[in-house]
Structure 1
Amino acid sequence: MTHPAYTPASTDPDGTAAPDRPDSDPDRTATTDRPGRSRTGLPVDLDGHDHRTFPAEGYDGRASRARAEPMAVWPLRDGRYLVDREDRTYVVDAERATCTCPDSAIRGARCKHVRRVAIEIDAGVLPAPDERERACAVCGGSAFVTVDARGPALCPRHDHNPGSVVADRETGTLLVVVESVGQRADDARTGEGRLVADYDTNAAYGRHEPVFAARYVEALPTGTSRGRSDAATRRRYLFPASRLRPVDADSAADRPTDPTREQRASPARAG
């Protein structure tokens, strides 16, 4: 999902200038406190009142204060954010990079509150302006979905994108995700007419979980002589979301497949 560009509200090219001193060297590498989709989970500290701090080493000016000063941030229903400090509360519009604080409203600067919102979005702590927070259908944890999203929400740990490599938790065998079926395990049926949730190998997983279709890596065509139509006719199997474990693509390339996987654990075949 692509987010709107967050254009700075000032002529502060590297995001580090304080309001009372000139801009820093324009050739300096830009700071990384603007919103992004990496969601790398930057380390944070809490002061016991939801006021977080982020590591600020290597930053100065507003960029440093945006990280070092304790702040609590909450998303509002209109896509803006409430930023609370110990003595003041401001409203940030992340898409316009504006804030109700004097530094932004009067000086036109990209204030520390705008930067803090960007930092927390990038860290995966907050939903982006076009997202909303919902409970993951598998674990109940935090899941960020688009405003108009329908159906069950899944957190990054339990969601699987088409084409991603995953491992079957029952056998360790590698698969490639085909699609989200859009049904729960106690509603989706296989080509045999059985509910996915009724298979013995799925007994340890929630009947309420969304179902994903996947193909075993060992069954995928190899070489250039086999076309897409051949791949499309390969068997696909249905799995509850949490039975599939994300696997790093690089490590998966060197991982052997298991030719006996269907004998040891028979997943639900979609047909």
Structure 2
Amino acid sequence: MVQSKHTRTSLHRKTPLSPGGPTATRADRARSEPMAVEPLGGGRYDVVTHDDHVYTVTLPESRCTCPDSKYRGENCKHIRRVAIDVTERRVPAPGQEETPCADCGAATFTPEDDDTLAYCPRCTLRPGTYVRDRERGDVLVVRDTTSERADETAIPGADHTVASYPTNGEYAANDVVVDVLYPLGSDVDPADLDARRLRSYAFPRGRLERLD
């Protein structure tokens, strides 16, 4: 099962980024005028102005379809607004697209044309996080969240990938792989163990429930 990470992105609301109304400079107008920036992919963005005009910005080439850019060659307020929104992570940068976190649905930015499931920073499992295996109920500790896909990661000593392993059949094949360890018992001193001898296990992220 390969789960799609994509959803249709609704048009962003037209908002100013700073108070005070329009001012003389293009940089100030880029922040003070209500605009909405809608990513189109390929480094292109539609900018909807306060009076509902729509101009298309090609950010890598610093081009816009507005007269200020098209005929005067200026770095117009629409180009500046897109650059601001990209820098402040309100819209994806060129080469990225906005996709929902596979766990909570929050917007996150990922490479274009990559269908690997994405997770927002809050839902990305960090080393040391305690999780529960949804299948067996075991409590585990995260060693690492990898960038590898479950359908492309072989299980050592088994003729399976993480995705094709029998107990993982209900989870997305394009999920990311998380390496986990069984936590040490309270009577074991970690300082007495060689960490290299601890065996890690690979799970699709969706199989693991975060324990807060």
C-alpha displacement of 1:172:
10
Offset at 1:151? 2.6
* 1:243 aligned onto 2:206: no
Is the aligned partner of 1:55 residue 2:21?
Answer: no
Given that residues 92 and 98 in structure 2 are in contact (C-alpha distance below 8 angstroms), is that contact kept between their aligned partners in structure 1? yes
Letter in 1 for 2:97: R
Which residue is equivalent to 2:167? 195
Cα deviation 1:109-162 (Å, max 9, x = unaligned): 2221111111111222211121122333223332322123133233333345xx
In structure 2, the CA distance between the partners of 1:243 and 1:211, relative to structure 1 (3 Å rule), is farther
Letter of the aligned partner of 1:75 in structure 2?
P
Q: How does 1:107-256 map to 2 (within 5 A)?
A: 107-159=72-124, 165-169=127-131, 175-177=142-144, 179-183=146-150, 188=162, 195=167, 207=171, 210=175, 212-215=177-180, 231=196, 234-238=198-202, 240=205, 243-244=209-210
Q: Which one is further off, 237-246 or 126-135? A: 237-246
Residue 91 (structure 1) shift = 0.8
Root mean square deviation, CA, Å: 4.1
Gaps of 5+ in 2: 1-11, 133-137, 152-160, 185-189
TM-score relative to the length of structure 1? 0.50
Out of 47, 50, 58, the residue aligned to residue 86 of structure 1 is 50
Q: Secondary structure at the match of 2:83?
A: helix
Distance apart, 1:98 and its partner CA: 1.7
Q: Which has the higher contact order (CA 8 A, sep 6+)?
A: 2
Structure 1: gaps of 5 or more residues = 1-48, 198-205, 247-271
Number of aligned residue pairs: give it. 175
- Correspondence for 2:34: 70
Q: Relative to 1, partners in 2 of residues 1:208 and 1:150: Cα closer, same or farther, differing over 3 Å? A: closer
Change (3 A) 1:238 1:64: same
Amino acid at match of 1:85: T
What is the one-letter code of the residue matched to 2:167?
A: L
Cα distance in 2 for residues equivalent to 1:156 and 1:60: 39
Q: What amino acid does structure 2 have at the position aligned with 1:183?
A: A
